[in-house]
Structure 1
Amino acid sequence: MRHLDSIAVFVEVARTGSFTAAARTLQMPLSSVSRKVAELEAELQIRLLDRSRKPLRMTEAGQAYFDLSSKGIDALTYANQAMRGKQETLSGTLRITVPPNLTELLFVKPIDRFVRRHPDARVRVLVSERMLDFVDDAIDLSFRVARPAAPNLVIRKLLVHRHRLCAAPSYLAVHALPREPAELSEHVRLGFGFQSQDSIAWQLTRGETSYSEPFEPTVAINDYLALKAAIEQGTGIGELPGLLCKDDLASGRLVEILPDWRLPEISLYAVYAGKVGLSKLARGFLDEVAAHTASF
């Protein structure tokens, strides 16, 4: 594991999207961060980062390598944190924001492990679609499904998943299974939408072919758990986050519609203020979440 430190440096550069931000987070000279990534690229004989573009981006090979290596780095970080936790108990109040619909699936277990390991810690969770201000709203750590564009933020990608079109077997028992995206117009369609939104569009791709046609859903709900319940009872076809429906698809409770056509991928990011940095309390909790999401 001669290049383990270089892998860890690359993972941090990829997560923050910047050599400078990674150097600050790792408390390393900028030149050392750049050199270690270059050494890793030379060892692998592939280009991991496209340095010619602003902001910094991963190459296709770099994205694939990051997806594989980041899980190992997260596991090692969690192992170190778990061992330190045997000697160090954290205390204080941690304030976090999390996106709706994914709270139970992605955060309840890490919160449980965290407060069991650190009984003097207190966690305050605000479920919000909106990106809150770290200073004005007194937020320590934010988890978002849309990458923030604000400067001076450290952004760490935790998870990538995609949405799926689903229907219940009871619905398909009386409606023909669509074979092509155009046939969706013949079905009852349920959508994730808001009051000001009259129409939505499912962005479907298969290889280099894409399909997107705006439609007005029969039922629109701005809550994926409620939308999932409507789909399960056979109301119609709807779009769900893969994380919410994977067990139902595996058990046959739901059926994936047009499985060869893919909806866009969605990422989960951990975000915190770069100038302030993370407290030990917040970093310990982030390690718990990272270890949990690595299992998906």
Structure 2
Amino acid sequence: MNPMVDLDIFMAVVKAGTIAGAARELQLAPVSVKKRLLRLESVMGVTLVQRINRELGLTEPGKELYHRLLVIFDDLEKAIASASGTGDDIHGSLKVVSSLSIGKRQVESLILRFSYEHPQMVIQFHMEDKQVDFIRDGYDVAVTIGQPSDSTMVAKRLVANRSYLVASPDYLRGRPPLNSPADLKDHACLVLDCHGSFRESWPLRGDGRQEIIKVQPSMITDDSEVLHQWVMAGLGVAICSDLEIRQDLQSGRLVPVMEDYRLPNMDLYIIYAGRKNLPSRTRIFVEFIEQHIMGA
């Protein structure tokens, strides 16, 4: 048995999500990949992966091994770079994901600045409004609204991000007043259906108590940028966060409604693997984002 080969195969299976996908990446027969994965599990005496809804998911020992191997492989890269005389540069690739609207307004320009400062690094930057699966999707860092469901990840709050119920002046003109939750039934409610959003249950706190208002959506999207476009176009009332609409509120393009009621914050977090020895490129990127967002 060559443990490094079997560990490479394990990592490939995790990243591909399937035996067949890993086999294609490694240019091996699927039966060979499966055999070597089973052999690794037999030697270790634990189950590393399990089938979940036709895909493979990691067990707790599998997650632990995966995170430790990331550190080990990063140390190997450093050793090779040091031996070849290139060890003074932060190098390698970093895969970063952010919420769509937050990514465009807060993160995109910082990614560009970070790349200028660290030209030896390859940054993969993705924007999407879905729950991040770090292991399956191969992300190193997420800058997103809300905390992760995976307890093995570290989540640091970057900034408090107040939520507002807003509409455009054009939409409100000539329509019934919006003073209390009961008034929402007379209005078009625009709903964001994605990770970190309130969906159709709007938690409004006023008069010393909180109510969960089940709204009847007039339009639904899973894209925060589309929601922003809809509310700006005067199509209805929506919940948006301060980081997304601060300039729109300042200019009067959007106005807050039902100001006697508050919504829970949609705070911005930076999320990464909760292991003791982070790869240097991940650590330096996290520190850079913290400095430029928390210090802004």
TM range (shorter): 0.5 to 0.7
Structure 2 matches for 1:1-296, cutoff 5 A? 89-128=89-128, 129-134=130-135, 136-193=136-193, 200-206=200-206, 208-275=208-275, 277-294=277-294
Number of the residue aligned with 2:75: none
Change (3 A) 1:213 1:124: same
Q: Which has the larger radius of gyration?
A: 2
**Offset at 1:155?**
2.5
Unpaired runs of 5+ residues, structure 2, are 1-87
CA deviation vs aligned residue, 1:55-105 (integer Å, no higher than 9, x gap): xxxxxxxxxxxxxxxxxxxxxxxxxxxxxxxxx752221112222321111
- The answer to whether the Cα contact below 8 Å between 2:94 and 2:281 also exists between their aligned partners in 1 is yes
| d(CA) in 1 for partners of 2:210, 2:242 | 20
Change (3 A) 1:139 1:247: same
Number of the residue aligned with 2:49: none
Q: TM-score, normalised by structure 1?
A: 0.63
The percent identity for this pair of structures is 25
> What letter corresponds to residue 179 of structure 2 in structure 1?
R
Q: Secondary structure at the match of 1:123?
A: strand
**Offset at 1:122?**
1.3
> What letter corresponds to residue 154 of structure 1 in structure 2?
V
| d(CA) in 2 for partners of 1:169, 1:232 | 9
**Offset at 1:295?**
5.2
- The answer to whether the Cα contact below 8 Å between 2:158 and 2:270 also exists between their aligned partners in 1 is yes
- The answer to whether the Cα contact below 8 Å between 2:176 and 2:186 also exists between their aligned partners in 1 is no
**Offset at 1:246?**
1.2
**Offset at 1:149?**
4.0
Q: Secondary structure at the match of 2:148?
A: coil
Q: Tell me whether 246-255 or 208-217 shows the greater mean CA deviation.
A: 208-217
Q: TM-score, normalised by structure 2?
A: 0.63
- The answer to whether the Cα contact below 8 Å between 1:168 and 1:255 also exists between their aligned partners in 2 is yes
| d(CA) in 2 for partners of 1:274, 1:200 | 33
Change (3 A) 1:231 1:153: closer
| d(CA) in 1 for partners of 2:137, 2:167 | 40
> What letter corresponds to residue 226 of structure 2 in structure 1?
A
Q: Secondary structure at the match of 1:213?
A: strand
| d(CA) in 2 for partners of 1:96, 1:122 | 11
**Offset at 1:146?**
2.9
**Offset at 1:218?**
1.0
| d(CA) in 2 for partners of 1:166, 1:154 | 32
Change (3 A) 1:180 1:133: closer
Change (3 A) 1:106 1:213: same
CA deviation vs aligned residue, 1:267-288 (integer Å, no higher than 9, x gap): 2222222236322212221122
- The answer to whether the Cα contact below 8 Å between 2:204 and 2:213 also exists between their aligned partners in 1 is no
- The answer to whether the Cα contact below 8 Å between 1:272 and 1:278 also exists between their aligned partners in 2 is no
> What letter corresponds to residue 283 of structure 1 in structure 2?
R
- The answer to whether the Cα contact below 8 Å between 2:184 and 2:215 also exists between their aligned partners in 1 is no
Change (3 A) 1:154 1:192: closer
CA deviation vs aligned residue, 1:143-201 (integer Å, no higher than 9, x gap): 3433224343332221221221111111122213312221121112211137xxxx812
**Offset at 1:213?**
2.2
Unpaired runs of 5+ residues, structure 1, are 1-87
Q: Tell me whether 154-163 or 216-225 shows the greater mean CA deviation.
A: 154-163
